[in-house]
Amino acid sequence: MTHAGDARRTGTGGYPSVPGVMTYGAAAAGEVLADRYRLEEHVGTDTAGRQIWRGVDTVLRRPVALVIRQPGGEAAAGMLTAAVAASRLVHPHLVSVYDAIDEGHRAYLIREWVPGVALRDVLSQGPLDSERATLVTHAVSEAVSALHVAGIVHGNVHPGTILIADDGRVVLLDAHADAPSDPEFDVRAVGAVLYACLTGHWPYVEAGRSTLPDALRDAHGRPLRARQVRGGIPRHLDEIAAELIDPQVAPPEAGPLAAEFARLVSTDPGYDSDEYSDMGWEDSPPPGPMGFQADSGGRRRATGKLLAGVLLLAVIAGAGIYTVIRLLSGSSTEPTDQITEPTPSTAPSVVPQPIALTPDQVRIVDPPDGDRTELEGVEYLVDGDPSTGWSTDQYVSPDFGLIKPGMGILIDLGAPTRVDAVRVLTTQGGASVALRSGPSDPGNTSAGDEQIASTYSALGPELENFEGTTITFPVPNQETVQYLLVWITMLPEVSPGNYQITVNEVEVLTSAGQ
């Protein structure tokens, strides 16, 4: 869905930028649309000619993305209709639509602001390993399936419209109003995304715009199989990608395809057997509810037995932007005609879960020259309700008015515990936050807080001016710790000249004991 992404990394949120043209009544920074949405930064113009802005909802005090089309009226009817339909969807792999307004001379959509990096930019650094390629494609297939159930054809699925968000989500950005309306187009594009993740090449240009290099092709102009481009790709993924992008093969609908990819992110006992030794399209499909049926045109049909056996990535959401490319990108292998058999993996799929925390396990750290009047409300940090939270006072500058070095949330796990990640939910992005640890709590006093602020050591780099509202800190090497400190050094601006942060939830994630 059209959205600015993060101007630091994705520029136009996944769409190749085109030169902007200034017209009468063009939007300008500082302008407030609908008496509510303030334009902050023009981050680009997409290939459909729509301006993409980063803005602020001045009522809810949250960042938003605004997509502006000129003119409005009849010319924008398709865009607005699609937006209204999409606004009814709440899905983790689709960007949320908040509002759609037509002013006649222009129309605009207000959407969730999701800072992150485009899949296109990740793949420009090298293809993904098979596990992460499967996870990304699964997320995209789920998003496409949800759209199709709602009667919406995306028509613009490609690595430039898929975002790896700072909070770890894989998010599909919006469709173009003038995009193709055939659901099959989306399904084939899902296969092209899998192919691109595995090879770093885009094989199916018709599925959307992409700046990735074109697929290597045979003498007949057909894309080479993924395993001919890069060694070590599992045979089942190679066959799925090849079948989905082959115009002579009838693809499944998006729902069954998403269900099959869901099977691929869990261990399948058939992986170690010969059950799936002959993969691909068959003249006669095997029985079973997930088998893909042939269409009336007599094209070949899928078996529906998509080989499973890849691992579920434990915390793709635990990467944070500073490691997302490192976590997602596998080593790039030079193109080769050598086809290498994959080595089956038997490791278990483990997803870290939140540790149950009670209010007496968290407290606020307010070192000198703080006056320790901002300590109340810590119980809301662990109540499981993201609508409640703890807030600092308002300050005249982001650095706590130069009164103190920062403030923090101290977490006492009660005993040394292996920790995978810490997740922090806030109401507004823009804070600078780090995760630290120490050997003890020297006491809930000003002197104790000063000791914590000066002696606790960092568990990773500080996230400076982090634009997201979900902050995930992976803990290196799953360290065993008892005391954790979420340390805040810079506050976001909540109104002109006023700086404050509200933290809604703090979660400590672990896979120990699972």
The answer as to whether 7 is a domain residue is: no
More confident site: 424 or 17: 424
Average pLDDT in the chain: 75
The answer as to whether 346 is a domain residue is: no
Q: Are residues 223 and 288 in the same domain?
A: yes
Domain boundary among 87, 114, 141: 114
Q: How far apart are the C-alpha atoms of 247 and 337, rounded to whole Å?
A: 23
Band the pLDDT of 20: cuts 50, 70, 90. very low
Average pLDDT value for residue range 442-451: 95
The answer as to whether 43 is a domain residue is: yes
Residue 318 phi, psi dihedral angles, 5° rounding: -90, 5
Tally helices (H) and strands (E) across the chain: 9, 24
- Asked if the model's pLDDT at residue 264 lies above 60, the reply is yes
Beta bridge partners of 66: 53, 110
More confident site: 2 or 40: 40
Residues ≥6 apart with Cβ < 8 Å to 262: 138, 142
Q: Are residues 159 and 253 in the same domain?
A: yes
Residues ≥6 apart with Cβ < 8 Å to 220: none
Domain boundary among 52, 80, 114: 114
Share of the chain above pLDDT 90, in %: 32
Structure tokens at 446: 């000003």
Q: How far apart are the C-alpha atoms of 247 and 157, rounded to whole Å?
A: 17
Write down the pLDDT at residue 153.
86
The answer as to whether 20 is a domain residue is: no
Which residue's entry shows tokens 């960092």?
Answer: 458
Q: Are residues 290 and 358 in the same domain?
A: no
Is this prediction's pTM over 0.75?
no
Determine the structural domain holding residue 134 and report its residue range: 117-328
Q: How many domains does the chain have?
A: 3
Please report the sign of the dihedral spanned by the C-alpha atoms of residue 343, residue 344, residue 347, residue 349: positive
| pLDDT tens-digit series, residues 300-322 | 333 332 322 222 222 333 333 23
Residue 442's nearest CA partner among 492, 504, 367, 356 is: 367
Assess whether the previous peptide bond of 218 is cis (omega < 30° from 0).
Answer: no
Highest mean pLDDT (candidates 270-279, 331-340, 434-443): 434-443
- Asked if the model's pLDDT at residue 364 lies above 50, the reply is yes
Residue 109 phi, psi dihedral angles, 5° rounding: -115, 145
Quick count: other Cβ atoms within 10 Å of Cβ 68? 22
Domain boundary among 328, 363, 387: 328
The answer as to whether 279 is a domain residue is: yes
Q: How far apart are the C-alpha atoms of 167 and 412, rounded to whole Å?
A: 24
**Please, are residues 96 and 111 in contact by the beta-carbon 8 Å criterion?**
yes
Q: How far apart are the C-alpha atoms of 244 and 379, rounded to whole Å?
A: 51
Q: How far apart are the C-alpha atoms of 436 and 155, rounded to whole Å?
A: 45
Band the pLDDT of 178: cuts 50, 70, 90. low
Band the pLDDT of 51: cuts 50, 70, 90. confident
Q: Are residues 435 and 296 in the same domain?
A: no
Q: Domain with 77 in it: what CATH number?
A: 3.30.200.20
Q: What is the 3-state secondary structure (H, E, C) of 475-514?
A: CHHHCEEEEEEEEEEECCEEECCEECCEEEEEEEEECCCC
Average pLDDT value for residue range 14-22: 35
Write down the pLDDT at residue 231.
84
Structure tokens at 415: 């005993």
Q: How far apart are the C-alpha atoms of 373 and 363, rounded to whole Å?
A: 13
- Asked if the model's pLDDT at residue 297 lies above 60, the reply is no
More confident site: 316 or 96: 96
- Asked if the model's pLDDT at residue 294 lies above 50, the reply is no
Quick count: other Cβ atoms within 10 Å of Cβ 89? 17
Tell me the pairing of strands 431-438 and 421-426: unpaired
Band the pLDDT of 468: cuts 50, 70, 90. low
Band the pLDDT of 229: cuts 50, 70, 90. confident
Write down the pLDDT at residue 317.
32
Which residue's entry shows tokens 């005993």?
Answer: 415
Q: Domain with 213 in it: what CATH number?
A: 1.10.510.10
Write down the pLDDT at residue 1.
33
Write down the pLDDT at residue 25.
55
Q: How far apart are the C-alpha atoms of 503 and 313, rounded to whole Å?
A: 27
Strand ranges for 309-406 from DSSP E = 353-354, 362-365, 390-391
